[in-house]
């Protein structure tokens, strides 16, 4: 037990260093023989169990993989993510809610069950590697093929191995931290962790980095907004989060385009410069752009450019609306909101205003509408709702 206690403390510190969290409320119960406990539950065939109601993990002593799965996987999820906290709340008020509320809660859980289980499977693999237990991991991965999984929202996931494979595909595509944030955990806003996210996403293109700018809400529970500037000639094609939508929003620009559009007072470029924090890049050069925007007002050429951007937004939104599916409708509404932003900016610039920030042109109602569009869009693009 002493050795096991040491491993648990060690892995808690690893999670604190990697993700800035560790179990605080979750309780761990280790059994010499767990069968007697399991016989008194609704799932006596289980290998181990996590009870959200009292944040308790129940595991057999000889299974380090299941300790990591239940205590660190499900425990952290229920302590720190919004849905995990909802699970705990639902369990504790189960006898006081209506039958309709119970049905809705069960439907919601079925929808997010692949995340709940996928996170625990990913966490146990991550920690087993960290403590050099690859032999345990190898046996566990073979075992997952035999463990049943069911989800009406994603019938393709038939085994625990399917859930694990799905999560690994997302990790390989987006990176460890992006996946962690996708599960719903708080963002880490320290420069080193932001750069780690960028490096995971850019891969070899990271070596061509000019600027990384953090802007937006800078709220650990909101999307992470980053502006990425790369050297001229480097591919900055469509790297949108087509599966993990908007969790880390990082539009990418070549340097000459970025500078040109900044001096044309394009608000999607000026906003991160004026309101953001430089995470990486030449500070003197960055502050030169900042000074330019504060010192000058838009030229006639910039006014014509902004008028053109408005027309482009309207054309693009019309194209989305013409497709008539829900995803395109939401995209069209979002692009229309950008057209409105440009129009409000242009009105101020035509009246002689200096640099304009989003906060100066968008009413609370417009911000709420845009945020709600993005929330609905996130749900419609959920990778487990629309499996590839």
CATH of the domain at 285: 3.30.460.10
User: Which of 264, 296, 328 corresponds to the end of one domain?
Assistant: 296
Structural element, H or E, at residue 59: strand 56-60
Distance CA 171, CA 177 (A): 8
Mean pLDDT of 64-93: 95
Distance CA 303, CA 318 (A): 23
Distance CA 182, CA 292 (A): 37
Q: Which domain holds residue 345?
A: 297-388
Report whether 93 contacts 84 (CB < 8 A). no
73 and 108 assigned to the same domain: yes
How far from 271 is each of 109, 175, 359, CA to CA, in Å? 38, 27, 10
Distance CA 226, CA 222 (A): 12
Q: Rounded to two decimals, what is the model's pTM?
A: 0.85
Helices 99-130 and 134-144 sit at what angle, rounded to 10 degrees?
140
**Does 187 fall in a domain?**
no
Instruction: Give the pairing type, strands 209-215 and 49-51.
Output: unpaired
Report whether 246 contacts 377 (CB < 8 A). yes
**Does 320 fall in a domain?**
yes
60 has a pLDDT exceeding 80: yes
336 and 348 assigned to the same domain: yes
**Does 127 fall in a domain?**
yes
The radius of gyration of the chain from alpha carbons, rounded to an integer in Å, stands at 24
Q: What percent of the chain has pLDDT over 90?
A: 71
169 and 21 assigned to the same domain: yes
365 has a pLDDT exceeding 90: no
Main-chain phi, psi angles of 249, to 5 degrees: -95, 110
104 has a pLDDT exceeding 90: no
**Does 46 fall in a domain?**
yes
**Does 82 fall in a domain?**
yes
277 has a pLDDT exceeding 70: yes
Token duo for residue 22: 């560790």
21 and 79 assigned to the same domain: yes
Does 120 or 331 have the greater pLDDT score?
120
Report whether 229 contacts 210 (CB < 8 A). yes
Distance CA 344, CA 312 (A): 16
178 and 230 assigned to the same domain: no
Residue with tokens 């003197």: 284
H-only helix segments in the chain: 2-19, 35-39, 64-67, 75-80, 82-92, 99-130, 134-144, 160-174, 176-182, 191-202, 255-263, 267-275, 283-295, 300-323, 326-350, 358-361, 364-380
Mean pLDDT of 11-17: 97
Distance CA 16, CA 304 (A): 51
**Does 110 fall in a domain?**
yes
What's the confidence (pLDDT) of residue 379?
47
Mean pLDDT of 191-198: 96
43 and 115 assigned to the same domain: yes
Token duo for residue 382: 């959920």
291 and 305 assigned to the same domain: no
Mean pLDDT of 280-299: 97
Q: Looking at the 3D structure of the chain, how many domains does it have?
A: 3
140 and 36 assigned to the same domain: yes
Distance CA 163, CA 149 (A): 8
User: Which of 239, 272, 296 corresponds to the end of one domain?
Assistant: 296
42 and 106 assigned to the same domain: yes
277 and 255 assigned to the same domain: yes
**Does 282 fall in a domain?**
yes
217 and 123 assigned to the same domain: no
**Does 188 fall in a domain?**
no
User: Which of 182, 213, 234 corresponds to the end of one domain?
Assistant: 182
What's the confidence (pLDDT) of residue 368?
61
**Which residue, 152, 198, 145, 157, is CA-closest to 174?**
198
44 and 115 assigned to the same domain: yes
What's the confidence (pLDDT) of residue 263?
97
Residue with tokens 């395109």: 328
What's the confidence (pLDDT) of residue 99?
86
Tell me the DSSP string of 203-249. GGGGGGEEEEEEETT--TTS-EEEEEEE-TTS-------SSSTTSEE
């Amino acid at each position: 037990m002493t050795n096991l206690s040491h491993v648990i403390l060690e892995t808690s510190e690893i999670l604190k260093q990697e993700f800035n969290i560790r179990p605080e409320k979750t309780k761990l119960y280790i059994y010499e023989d767990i069968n007697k406990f399991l016989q008194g539950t609704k799932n006596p065939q289980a290998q181990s169990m996590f009870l959200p109601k009292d944040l308790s993990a129940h595991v057999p002593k000889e299974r380090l993989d299941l300790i990591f799965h239940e205590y660190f996987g499900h425990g952290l999820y229920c302590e720190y993510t919004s849905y995990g906290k909802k699970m705990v709340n639902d369990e504790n008020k189960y006898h006081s809610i209506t039958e309709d509320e119970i049905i809705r809660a069960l439907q919601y859980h079925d929808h997010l069950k692949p995340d709940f289980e996928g996170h625990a499977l990913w966490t146990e693999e991550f920690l087993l590697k960290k403590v050099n237990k690859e032999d345990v991991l190898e046996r566990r991965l073979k075992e997952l093929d035999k463990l049943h999984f069911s989800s009406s929202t994603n019938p393709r996931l038939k085994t625990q191995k399917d859930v694990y494979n799905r999560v690994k595909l997302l990790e390989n595509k987006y990176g460890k931290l992006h996946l962690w944030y996708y599960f719903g955990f708080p963002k880490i806003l320290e420069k080193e962790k932001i750069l780690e996210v960028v490096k995971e996403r850019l891969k070899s293109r990271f070596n061509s980095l000019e600027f990384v700018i953090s802007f937006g809400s800078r709220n650990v529970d909101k999307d992470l907004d980053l502006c990425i500037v790369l050297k001229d000639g480097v591919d900055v094609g469509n790297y949108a989060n087509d599966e993990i939508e908007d969790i880390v929003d990082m539009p990418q620009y070549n340097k000459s385009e970025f500078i040109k559009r900044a001096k044309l007072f394009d608000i999607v470029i000026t906003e991160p410069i004026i309101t953001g924090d430089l995470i990486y890049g030449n500070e003197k050069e960055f502050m030169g752009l900042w000074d330019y925007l504060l010192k000058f007002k838009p030229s006639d050429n910039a006014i014509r450019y902004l008028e053109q951007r408005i027309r482009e937004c309207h054309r693009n939104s019309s194209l989305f609306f013409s497709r008539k599916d829900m995803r395109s409708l939401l995209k069209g509404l979002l692009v229309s909101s950008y057209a409105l932003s440009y129009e409000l900016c242009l009105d101020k610039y035509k009246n002689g205003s200096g640099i304009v920030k989003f906060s100066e042109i968008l009413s609370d109602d417009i911000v709420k509408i845009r945020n709600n569009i993005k929330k609905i869009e996130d749900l419609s693009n959920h990778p487990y709702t629309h499996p590839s």
